[in-house]
Structure 1
Amino acid sequence: MFSREQLYKLGIMAYLTVWYVGSFWLIAAIGSGLFEHTFGIDFIKFQDYLYYALAGAIGGTLYAMRLFHFYYDSLTERWVLWYILRPILCAGTAVMTIVLFESGIMLLEAKESVIAKIGIAFLVGFGYGKVMDKLKTLTETLFNGKDNSTDGDDKSK
């Protein structure tokens, strides 16, 4: 039979594959109007944000699959949780990053097209760790009045 580690590896690969392929399928399904009025929800009103979430999930899943392949022999239970959470966290972060760009809180020179924002959302998902570092710096700057990442002597942390 399969060992626990083999089951983890098989489960993670299946899970990430479902996220990856499923996100592309959902983008196509949403674009075709399959879910226009499902569950009493008018998906057309926030269709673009679904695209951003799915693009972020694709980016995060692609990054996770790459690392899964690279570190296949050193999988631990701690990393199993990381692989499970990665697509979900990347989807949410991609949407909120686009909201921050649209609100003017974060500035980026990009076209106002949905395709450009989908591209940004993908990059947010793929570079999730770096985006979180930037968001932390932005939060420190906005709410503390200074960037604490460059000041190692701050005792108020």
Structure 2
Amino acid sequence: MKKVIFYLILIIALILYLWIEMLASGLPKVLLGHELAIQCVMLGSMGGVLYCLRAVYINKCVKSKWDENWEVWYYLRPVTSSISGLVSFVFLKAGLIALDAEQATNAGDFGYLAFAFIAGLNVDKFVSKIEDIAKSLFGIDKSRATKESDKN
């Protein structure tokens, strides 16, 4: 469990360092113009880390049911959350998902960032919604993994 906590805190520290570095020094030339996408990846990951940290203290302290078999999940969840953050950016940018809330004129990119965080926080529901969009646009059926999780 200590390795998992260290890993999660390391991810937070890395994201914060990269974000501060990005604000202070800017992005390398090759990444210029992709700042919002990178920020969505970072916030998606932060959503996943938050979910994992919450799961650690609930499973260890509240339920007293820490199971080492789940450690792989704790290591991979921030990665899948990062991917969800990027995918949320792509779907918003493509107009396949629209934010219903009224956006203030000076809000900038906060809608993208908030959506990326939510996508990272709840990967399972996000993937299910993306598959709903794929089904409605392209007639692609949901994956078996999503069908199974929808039953629960």
Q: Among residues 42, 46, 66, which one is paired with 1:54 in the alignment?
A: 42
**Residue in structure 2 matched with residue 14 of structure 1 by the alignment:** 6
Q: Normalising to structure 1: TM-score of the pair?
A: 0.76
Q: Larger deviation: 16-25 or 61-70?
A: 16-25
Equivalent runs, 1:128-147 vs 2, <5 Å: 128-144=123-139
- Segments of 5+ residues of structure 2 without an aligned counterpart are 148-152
2:126 maps to amino acid: V
Deviation of 1:87 (Å): 0.8
Whether 2:86 is the aligned partner of 1:98: answer no
Whether 2:111 is the aligned partner of 1:116: answer yes
How many residues are matched? 137
Whether 2:59 is the aligned partner of 1:42: answer no
Percent of pairs with identical residues = 20
Checking the alignment, whether the CA contact within 8 Å between 1:100 and 1:106 is kept in structure 2 is yes
Seen in structure 2, the aligned counterparts of structure 1 residues 78 and 139 have a Cα distance that, compared at 3 Å, is farther
Deviation of 1:117 (Å): 1.3
Would you identify which runs of 4 or more consecutive aligned residues in structure 1 move more than 4 Å? none
Instruction: Determine the C-alpha separation between the residues in 2 that align with 1:89 and 1:145.
Output: 22
Secondary structure at the counterpart of residue 33 of structure 2: helix
**Residue in structure 2 matched with residue 127 of structure 1 by the alignment:** 122
Q: Among residues 64, 80, 95, which one is paired with 2:52 in the alignment?
A: 64
Instruction: Determine the C-alpha separation between the residues in 2 that align with 1:23 and 1:132.
Output: 23
2:48 maps to amino acid: G
Larger radius of gyration: 1
Deviation of 1:67 (Å): 0.6
Seen in structure 2, the aligned counterparts of structure 1 residues 140 and 16 have a Cα distance that, compared at 3 Å, is same
Say what the alpha-carbon RMSD is for the aligned residues: 2.4
Whether 2:23 is the aligned partner of 1:23: answer no
**Residue in structure 2 matched with residue 6 of structure 1 by the alignment:** none
Instruction: Determine the C-alpha separation between the residues in 2 that align with 1:145 and 1:79.
Output: 31
Instruction: Determine the C-alpha separation between the residues in 2 that align with 1:145 and 1:25.
Output: 40
